[in-house]
Amino acid sequence: MAENILEIKDLTFSFRTYGGVVKSVRDVSFDVREGEILGIVGESGCGKSVTSQCILRLNPEPPGFFESGSILYKGEDIVKKSDREMRKIRGTEISFIFQDPMTSLNPTMTVGKQIEEIFVGRKGMSRKEIKERTLEILRLVGINEPERRYKQYPHELSGGMKQRVMIAIALVGKPSIIIADEPTTSLDVTIEAQILDLLKDLREKMNTSIILITHDLGVIAKMCDRVLVMYGGKIAERGTVEEIFYETAHPYTAGLIKSIATLDTSKDHKLVPIDGTPPDLFSPPHGCPFAARCEFAMKVCYERQPEFHQLSPEHTCACWLQHPYAPKVDIMKGLEQEAKK
């Protein structure tokens, strides 16, 4: 089994706001292995972006702050690092691809400059080498006429090309981990496929680990080796892609799967939405954050946070349904269907 390259333990990250302290990420633990693609899935506001930005300390601090936990990268704790020390990690050790390529590139700087900026203040490469490297990376991410693009400004590029430039920025420092935060959400479906293929391709060529954040289970199924499902700032379930899709253990994961359409979905098959809204993180519920939206919610769910149950070496799930006392239900079917039988 591949080495752990990043280990996150009991991470709790909060923001001080006008309305009080928001606990965006609560007791999150996971690890990233060399060369794997780890998916983090969840709806907006579930803490997936904040978690990922914690790894590069990109959340504004203040108002954000670490309440507890550690993020070990190559044995060193990122939580304890100063801004100056973080700089050595950002871009060359761990890099980030942002959600919206339209707004994530500086409109007043040429594409080439924005890619080369990674090397500003780092020794060891001549100007010429840097430029060659940049052009090579542009070619690698599938941008034609790199020499021309090099001198262009972001607004002269299409959305897909901008995202390729973002990927080029993330790649040019040869990082060992790339964090991609919804890299395809704002792109057309055809471009999305191209970008995802590109990421997969790069992983194979450069053996980079990728943390892929998305709300789209389709993307997860296509790309990932292992998956974390997050809800209300906590991890609900984690496991390999197969386990998540075929041995679903958490009602929230089940809800996500039931709410997406696949090619196999027949016309009269109804997609099931998850009712309600995610919990208010100003005052997170005492019990399971998902209880209020969960049709299997039990008394205990409203009162106590569920513990993690180990279902297989990779598969864990935080849900009271796994407790020996709990009734046996088929979470993929739902109560009504069960009753009909």
Site for another protein in 130-159 (CB under 8 A): 153, 155-156
How near is the Cβ of 49 to another protein at its closest, in Å?
11
Element (H, E) at 28: strand 20-33
User: Would you state the structure tokens that stand for residue 41, as one six-digit string?
Assistant: 């899935």
Position 221 contacts another protein (CB under 8 A): no
312-331 footprint of another protein as x/- string (CB under 8 A): -xx-x-x-x--x-xxx-x--
Position 70 contacts another protein (CB under 8 A): no
Binders in 276-305 for another protein, by CB under 8 A = 276-277, 279-280, 283-284, 286, 291-300, 302-305
Which of the stretches 124-132, 134-142, 252-260, 310-318 binds another protein when contact is defined by CB under 8 A? 310-318
Do the beta carbons of residue 56 and residue 291 sit within 8 Å?
no
Contacts of 117 (CB under 8 A, 6+ apart): 109
Size of the site for another protein (CB under 8 A): 79
Do the beta carbons of residue 73 and residue 85 sit within 8 Å?
no
Which residues pair with residue 226 across a beta bridge?
Answer: 38, 240
Q: CA neighbours within 13 Å on the CB side: how many for 184? A: 21
Position 187 contacts another protein (CB under 8 A): no
Binders in 161-180 for another protein, by CB under 8 A = 166, 169, 173
Position 185 contacts another protein (CB under 8 A): no
Which of the stretches 137-145, 217-225, 252-260, 270-278 binds another protein when contact is defined by CB under 8 A? 270-278
Contacts of 274 (CB under 8 A, 6+ apart): 252, 255, 256, 259, 293
The residue type found at 71 is I
Contacts of 236 (CB under 8 A, 6+ apart): 42, 229, 230, 250, 252, 253, 290, 317, 318, 319
For residues 43 and 117, which CB has a smaller minimum distance to another protein in the complex? 117
How near is the Cβ of 168 to another protein at its closest, in Å?
12
Cβ-based neighbour number of residue 337 at 10 Å: 10
Residue of 118, 198, 236, 249 that binds another protein (CB under 8 A): 118
